[in-house]
Amino acid sequence: MVFNPEKKIEDLPQKEFEEAGAASATESEIEPEDVFDMERMVTDEDWERIKRNMNHKKNREDVWHYLEAAKNIKTFSPEDFQKNELGREKHYDRALEIVEEEREEGRWPQAARDAAAVKILSPDKLSEADVNRIFEGAKEQIMLERKGNRPPWPSLLATAEDLVILSPERRGELGLDDEMFEQIKKEIEEVEEKKCWDVYADRLARAMILFPERAKEFKLSGQALNGMNEKFEQLRRGADFYKREDLFSKMARDMKIISAKKMETTEKGIETK
């Protein structure tokens, strides 16, 4: 099936929108699944290019870039990840060594990021003791930095996302309160104003992971939904697909989360339905 990038919010039946140019939806009438048909948005041709690029990454020693791309692809489509044999045990083992080095050096955000990637790609690789040590160290850093005069909210929220993926049953220990909710809401509003649609998708997906029970509080405008669709298509058509593929896969992952009727973090990572 071929994705139709010309499909716009305005084409949807039984929806009311403001005059052209305003491009924002009335209240919460628009749902992401109205626009994002994620089973069609990544074509067979896209998968062939993704597979070639990932095979190239598998044959290199650049473990971090492999992990980043692989975790996004597996979250977007675990079935295709397995069918195309995109996993790499050697890289998972090396990633565990890197996580241990980061933990010993007290680089908790990096350890949480890389451990979360391993959790998504090969959950059995991480021991409960390793997960708990990383969770405690990164959580403590979040709490300390929140007490500062100018907390680094983007990095704190990113680390919180990794910890929710790493240990979803301990979500309640991360202080995911109204202050954090308002901060991520502010980030989303700022990038929407700047029309940075790939970053917008990243922040909105993060909000869904951190605050799934409050997802309906994020009002999606027609401009935002069209903007994400158009940015996704731009990434597909990029002149150098191998450089843009990671961004393409990342945005596919984010849009899958945004458009899911149900999303939850489990012992397997992020699961969508």
Question: Which tens digits make up the pLDDT trace of 156-175?
Answer: 999 999 999 999 999 999 99
pLDDT of residue 41: 83
Question: Which tens digits make up the pLDDT trace of 100-138?
Answer: 999 999 999 999 999 999 999 999 999 999 999 999 999
Assign 238 a pLDDT band (cuts: 50, 70, 90).
confident
Does residue 48 lie in a domain region?
Answer: yes
Question: Which tens digits make up the pLDDT trace of 18-62?
Answer: 333 333 333 344 566 655 676 678 888 889 889 988 988 888 878
Domain that holds residue 234: 9-272
Cα–Cα distance between 146 and 150 in angstroms, integer? 8
Does residue 1 lie in a domain region?
Answer: no
Q: Compare 155 and 17 and report the one with higher pLDDT.
A: 155
The helix (run of H) or strand (run of E) holding residue 208 is helix 197-210
Token readout for 146 is 């929140």
Does residue 261 lie in a domain region?
Answer: yes
Global pTM? 0.85
Place of tokens 């907390």: 151
Q: Is the pLDDT of residue 273 over 90?
A: no
Does residue 2 lie in a domain region?
Answer: no
Does residue 96 lie in a domain region?
Answer: yes
Is residue 209 a contact partner of residue 164, using CB atoms and an 8 Å limit?
yes
Token readout for 11 is 């084409």
* 3-state SS class at 56: helix
Number of domains in the chain: 1
Is residue 61 a contact partner of residue 93, using CB atoms and an 8 Å limit?
no
Does residue 65 lie in a domain region?
Answer: yes
Is residue 46 a contact partner of residue 249, using CB atoms and an 8 Å limit?
no
Is residue 188 a contact partner of residue 204, using CB atoms and an 8 Å limit?
yes
pLDDT of residue 62: 81
Q: What is the mean pLDDT of residues 241-265?
A: 84
Nearest alpha-carbon partner for 160 in 152, 76, 122: 152
Cα–Cα distance between 268 and 118 in angstroms, integer? 10
Q: What is the mean pLDDT of residues 227-254?
A: 82
Assign 272 a pLDDT band (cuts: 50, 70, 90).
confident
